[in-house]
Amino acid sequence: MIIGKKIKNICKKNKVKFIINDDPLLARKLNADGCHLGQKDMNINIAKKILGKKIIGITCHNSINLAKKAIKAKADYIAFGAFNQSKTKKTKHVASVKILNKVKKFTKTPTVAIGGINSFNYKNLLLNNANFLAISGYIWKNKKYKPLQAIERLK
């Protein structure tokens, strides 16, 4: 809880949404802006009862079918990946920019790209209809740059 509150304050100060991964109950406790749900996490309808009008996003891996289900369930965003090899999680599902372009043909629901995103490959995702990027390892596990330096390289 203490770390969560500190991160929430940093997000607020920088005008960035504070989204909790996998845990709607913790998101409610911290009064986060929302929660991200994986395919094996809580059902979106139960999460909506817990979080009310907060942001809820859904992992769709590399599947149009999962995207359509998430859209039907009124997810606030749909996330795809991994677009690249990642050190943060084992890459079980590989996505290509084709899925971002396909999805944009039938929905206005914002898309998030996940997986191995860094200063060399992020622009291609943005140019191919990713509305947002989830970047973790490049910032927090970067051997060459400290977190703020890594973030600067993404501007």
Identity of the amino acid at 10: I
What confidence score (pLDDT) does residue 113 get? 97
Identity of the amino acid at 27: A
Percent of the chain clearing pLDDT 70 (strictly above): 99
Q: What is the pLDDT of residues 33-47, one digit of tens each?
A: 999 999 999 999 999
- Write the class of the CATH domain 18-152: alpha beta
DSSP run (H or E) holding 5: helix 2-13
Which residues are paired to 19 by β-bridges?
34
Q: What is the pLDDT of residues 74-130, one digit of tens each?
A: 999 999 999 988 767 677 788 999 999 999 999 999 999 999 999 999 999 999 999
Torsion of CA 127, 109, 21, 69, to 10 degrees: -120
Q: Return d(Cα 102, Cα 66) in angstroms, integer.
A: 13
Q: Return d(Cα 78, Cα 65) in angstroms, integer.
A: 12
What confidence score (pLDDT) does residue 89 get? 67
What confidence score (pLDDT) does residue 29 get? 97
Spans of all domains in the chain = 18-152
Residue 65: pLDDT band (50, 70, 90) is very high
Average pLDDT, rounded, for the chain: 93
Residue 106 structure tokens: 């039938």
E-assigned strands of the chain?
19-21, 34-37, 55-59, 77-81, 111-114, 132-134
